[in-house]
């Protein structure tokens, strides 16, 4: 073979090898990413609303950002676009339909108990709160309920240990 043919053969072989390697690290796809999030949340897509799916890159890693709501709870997932791994997730209660966490990993006190602890500490009756939000989150290695509400002219923020009910942090600020 001539040098030109050898070069073309080598280039073609390189392209075939490169394309097969690219196929091995293919994106899982939007539908699979949604399926992973729904399965983790214990929901079907039919049980959700306000579904939003976006693909983006963070620190060189391709991710799917999946947000949806169900039963007064907003869910937000970051799913690895290549690995399918749940990189981060949050769930936040948006109304008074408070639910206990259902991930089955721990015996948490529940959103209602965390809310009660915060309200008793703040000496605020539940009937007088406005703009209530609650979220189960991991903060400095500890699972906490982040409770926020407004009362009169003040804003309250609490972090309550999800296992013990201990108030980890709190603050209030007047508007």
Q: Which residues of the chain have pLDDT under 70?
A: 1-24, 94-106
Token duo for residue 17: 């090898």
- 69: Cβ contacts below 8 Å, ≥ 6 apart: 48, 49, 50, 75, 94
Eight-state DSSP code of residue 28:
-
pLDDT in tens, 84-129: 998 888 888 765 333 444 455 457 888 899 999 999 999 999 999 9
Under a CB-based contact definition with an 8 Å cutoff, are residues 147 and 127 in contact?
A: no
Domains of the chain by range and CATH?
25-91 (3.10.450.40), 95-175 (3.10.450.40)
Q: What is the pLDDT of residue 127?
A: 93
The whole model's pTM is what?
A: 0.45
Gap between the Cα atoms of 31 and 56, Å rounded: 16
Using one digit for the tens of pLDDT, what is the confidence trace for 79-90? Answer: 999 999 988 888
Q: Check residue 143 and give its pLDDT.
A: 84
């Amino acid at each position: 073979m001539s040098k030109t043919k050898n070069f073309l053969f080598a280039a073609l072989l390189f392209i075939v090898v490169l394309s097969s390697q690219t196929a091995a690290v293919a994106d899982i796809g939007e539908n699979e990413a949604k399926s992973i999030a729904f399965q983790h949340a214990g929901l079907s897509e039919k049980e959700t609303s306000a579904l939003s799916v976006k693909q983006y890159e963070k620190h060189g890693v391709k991710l799917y950002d999946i947000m949806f709501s169900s039963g007064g709870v907003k869910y937000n997932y970051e799913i690895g676009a290549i690995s399918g791994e749940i990189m981060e997730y949050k769930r936040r209660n948006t109304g008074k339909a408070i639910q206990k966490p259902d991930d089955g990993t721990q015996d948490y006190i529940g959103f209602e108990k965390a809310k009660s602890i915060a309200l008793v500490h703040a000496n605020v009756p539940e009937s007088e709160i406005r703009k209530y939000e609650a979220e189960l989150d991991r903060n400095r290695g500890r699972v906490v309920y982040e409770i926020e509400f407004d009362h009169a002219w003040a804003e309250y923020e609490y972090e309550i240990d999800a296992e013990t009910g201990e108030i980890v942090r709190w603050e209030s600020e007047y508007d």
